[in-house]
Amino acid sequence: MPCLIYSPLHRGGTEAMYMEKEELLRKILELESEKWEVGSDPRHRDSARDTLCVNVSEEALRRAQEEASTTLAMESKQEDNNMGERLVKKQECEGCCNAYARILQHLERRAEAEQRLREEELALRREELQLQRERAALERERQEAERRERERRFELEREERQVILEILREKMIK
């Protein structure tokens, strides 16, 4: 018959520890029942009780020591396993972190390169706009120079015609 007293131990511990505690409790209950069955004689009952107490105490002490050594060994083994798992996980994590760091560095370098490229494109565009402004200014100057040249030629032709007209008038008047 399973005892409900140690059911939390069963949930929190191992199956072997649970079974040992159940067996110890069963023995204690058997000894208690034997004590009450034997015991109409008070002397016999007291000696049986003393023997029972000694036996139960010795058994409990022996089981506790075994349990402690087993628990320590299991905890040590679990810690070793956990440490190994942590190292593996840490190595895996470091591997992931290193991979992420390399990817991040690559993306940062790529972003920096793209930024430099955009800045260079912007500088080239500014230079191109400046050259277009200079061409437009030179074109205006050329057109202005041609206009002045036409006006000067027109003025010269007009003066030439005036001179010719004066010469013709003088010749006609004389």
Segment 83-94, tens digit of pLDDT: 767 666 666 666
DSSP-derived secondary structure letter, 13: S
Judged by DSSP in three states, 154 sits in helix
The torsion of the CA quartet 110, 111, 115, 120, rounded to 10 degrees, works out to 10
For residue 96, what are its two tokens?
């992931």
pLDDT reported for residue 152: 97
pLDDT digits (tens, 9 = 90+) for 1-24: 444 454 554 455 577 777 777 777
Domain residue spans of the chain = 39-173
CA–CA separation, 65 vs 55, rounded Å? 15
pTM equals 0.36
pLDDT reported for residue 151: 97
| pLDDT at residue 173 greater than cutoff 70 | yes
pLDDT digits (tens, 9 = 90+) for 46-55: 666 667 666 7
pLDDT reported for residue 9: 46
CA–CA separation, 55 vs 143, rounded Å? 126
